[in-house]
Amino acid sequence: MQSNVADMKARYGKPVVIVETSYPFTTGNGDSDSNVITAATPCSGYPASATGQANNFNAIKTVIQNGGGVGVFWWEPTWVGTAGNGWDPTNINGTGSEWDNQAVFDFNFRLNPNINWNP
């Protein structure tokens, strides 16, 4: 990924930002919708845990910075599994999130303290 970021920056002369990334903090499910990632270790070396989530994010952030990128955006950090937080506007309370185990807040709405948002 680092070489791809460096190549895009050099080739197009534009700032490069990774606009969607996420990683599970658990294999558990906080709502009625099945999760899209259920593996205990989706990427080698990064278990589906609060620490694994933070380490994965920090590794991506470092790779992007080292490639000359300017930022990383988490894909829906607040999409926790709770009523009223569904994706379907016609049935907002009847749908959940397939990404709830990838939010940066756990099922009790506590922020993952291991994630460092600073450069």
For residue 93, being part of any structural domain is answered with yes
> Is 21 strand, coil or helix?
strand
User: Residue 63's pLDDT is what?
Assistant: 95
How many domains is the chain built from? 1
CA pair distance 108, 101, nearest whole angstrom = 12
> Is 9 strand, coil or helix?
helix
For residue 117, being part of any structural domain is answered with no
Neighbours of 110 (CB within 10 A): 10
Where are the extended beta strands (E) located within 2-114? 17-21, 71-74
User: Residue 119's pLDDT is what?
Assistant: 65
For residue 27, being part of any structural domain is answered with yes
For residue 76, being part of any structural domain is answered with yes
CA pair distance 60, 54, nearest whole angstrom = 10
For residue 42, being part of any structural domain is answered with yes
Domain span at residue 60 reads 2-102
For residue 118, being part of any structural domain is answered with no
User: Residue 18's pLDDT is what?
Assistant: 94
User: Residue 43's pLDDT is what?
Assistant: 95
* Residues in the chain, pLDDT under 70: 119
Query: pTM of the predicted model, to two decimals?
Result: 0.88
User: Residue 117's pLDDT is what?
Assistant: 73
For residue 91, being part of any structural domain is answered with yes
For residue 111, being part of any structural domain is answered with no
